[in-house]
Structure 1
Amino acid sequence: MSDTAKRSRTGRTGPEVGRRTVLKAGAAAAGAVAAGPLAVVSRRARAADRLRVLTWPGYEEKAVAEEFEDTHGVRLEFKVYIGGEQMLRSFNRAPRGTYDTVLVDAEYVRRLAAMDAIEPYSPGEIPELANYHPRFRTMRQVRAAGGLVWGTATRFGFYAISYNADRMSRAASGDWNSLFLPELAGRIGVLDWYLPNMGIASLAVHPGKQNPYDLSDEQLGAVRAWLLRLRPQVGMLGASSRPIVQAMIDGDIVAAMVGDLDIDLKLAGYPNFEATIPKQGGIRWQEVATVCKQSRNKDLALEWIRYVSQAHVQAKLGFAKAFKARGPNLKVADHWTAEQNRLMGYDPDPENRGRMRVEALIDRSVARDLPVRQEAKAWIDIFNEFRAG
């Protein structure tokens, strides 16, 4: 991932990875989801106590979970979900008190808080916040009354332009409006979800907007017009990033409105892919660890949050089998190899002395959110119109 001023020079890194390995990312997690509403993944069969976790994929992997179980003498039980709406369905179908902690997209924290499902705590309970990038210490999505927070960030990534550098220039990748270039007709890949794409469109027509999800009806109309104009350029709407990645490997898709695809592609042996946050800005997804209000293990849940806030844990989580991600704790760089740091952007920024490249990327991006002034349906209707072409 690079900003418009600097293209990443990262080459192929890490151990040899099969060229189709990237297409299998998340398969185990998908299987866990398919197993049913009560399916859990347990790391240890016998323990004195247990902590039940509702989570995105990755946290249940042995490399991430085992140390916590060994340290606290407990069993972690995971219910894995894919997507915020599925998280809400899973939570609501289970009796209150079923889950002790939820790992959730930051924009859904307020939904859980409105349901009286989570409990705020003092940020002073999380010492590792001192090592976080400032944007993750004061996230608007997790602020509660009285200086408390609803949750702590655990990992993040970007929505930007991922592209084949043999067929698209770095200069072109620095502007969202380059997606309208004639040579890209039918060659654009888009993730089939309204939130990131409408946030991107909002930034494209309202550059630098602090919250691209806080729009007047007139501003939302401009977003709709931009998306509908883009539709003829789109050759694929992917239910996940995996089919888009395969289409990029096959040469059918040249650029995608999905950041960070270059990470998996390079790990899979394709060094000619890059990603850029355009000059108008990019969207940043963020996961947050929360404490469930009806949990009978709140102290242990808070210990789990302290655990996943640590740099060495986020370093493992960043290279989980499910998918790759960055850590808000900037000390993760101390636990990755030089090659991993270059790949993820935790290496020195040649244009900002004393900073890492990832810090500039964070500053150039804004957090994904839910619509502020309109009901979600109004936004979904626009995206469905875009999908229909």
Structure 2
Amino acid sequence: MVSKLVLTLRKVIEQRLKQELRGISVKDSTLPQVVFDNSEIAKFIQKHNLSQPEITTLVIALVPHVSPEFFSNIIAEYLPNGGDFPEFGCVKGKNHRGLLPTGETVLYIISGHDIEKRMEMAKMFEEEHLFAQKGVLHIEAVPAGEPKMSGRLIMDDEFVDLFTSGKISSPKLSSDFPAQRISTDLKWTDLVLKEKTLDEIKELETWLNYNEQLMSEWGMRNKIKPGYRVLFYGPSGTGKTLTTCLLGKYTGRDVYRVDLSMVISKYIGETEKNLSGLFNKAEHKNWILFFDEADSLFGKRTNIRDAHDKYANQEVSYLLQRIEAHSGLVILASNMKGNIDSAFTRRFNAFVEFDAPDASERLKLWQVYMPESNKVSRTIRLEQLAKTYELTGANIVNIIHYAGLLTIKDKNTQLENEALMAGIRKEYKKEGKILQK
């Protein structure tokens, strides 16, 4: 399908150039009707009922990724002796050796010199248009004073992947995208939480499943703030990350854990830049953004004593604005609710407390994470372990992991109580606790 669209785009451009450079009259400069197949780009065009100018724009943005020499060859054919052709609007890239389309390229191909039509076509690049709403393509920002339409026409990498390979590749952790996709193979039944916490989690699941229907079918988009902001708070290892992963798994959403070490910068303006790139990439993606150990970025603002404090507070204010404007679910995780700046907490939709497990919950955790029964000695009393040792779910997983490795190392066939106790001592020592004998 893409190759057919590229061929028909070439015909459209040739029609325009024949009219402009050779005086040959043409009736229209949009893509002729194409028989659609089952490709992703065809599905996208049909699903959103794109107009001919919109299809033309979509293909113009995509073509450098599938035919790098496309625009250069056409210009060379019609201007064999070289020369400047500003109406066509293409620019050179930093690494790309061919020509790259701009907003002016789109307007020229579709509208020629018809000013009224050019103004009408320029609306495709406004925030209210489908292309911006879905994050499909945009015009790159230009230096102050230069025409907006002279910016490069950029298609989002994910849509390039979708239209060319049929699937979307997850963005990789980098300085430009300081977040990493996380997931789990566990199920809701593996999550051990108090009943009140589970009820609050179900409310989040309800928002994820039905909010878009409320906004669209009930016409509430202009009446309710976009997005949902939640604080998960409680001791480390009590299930905050696992809960986030399960929410994503059972609502069909990718979960991205933000790496705050890559976000926060000592250089003025860099933190805001990193955050801006993250939220811009996440917009319209239906992702869940998870800020683990969020205190470092969302902590209480300080009194202004010097320039550093001033800019640190500006970072918090900027982040507050971006989170409020974000249309998806944002989850902040902290060990203590009081560590988060009140400016954020006032705007949260929900607070979910993750308590340290009591004895009955610790027993469930031991039972969930222990190996198959034939690998466990019958002398082990999980009820006694759960009652005696105050551990979190993460502690228990670490203990069983460590004990299992010791068992294999010692060439034993079953997990014994002695190996579990070695793991418990290790976890207590790690957290600075004293193990009562």
Same topology, TM > 0.5: no
Query: TM-score normalized by structure 1?
Result: 0.27
Structure number with the bigger relative contact order (C-alpha 8 A, sep ≥ 6) is 1
Larger radius of gyration: 2
Higher helix proportion (structure 1 or 2) = 2
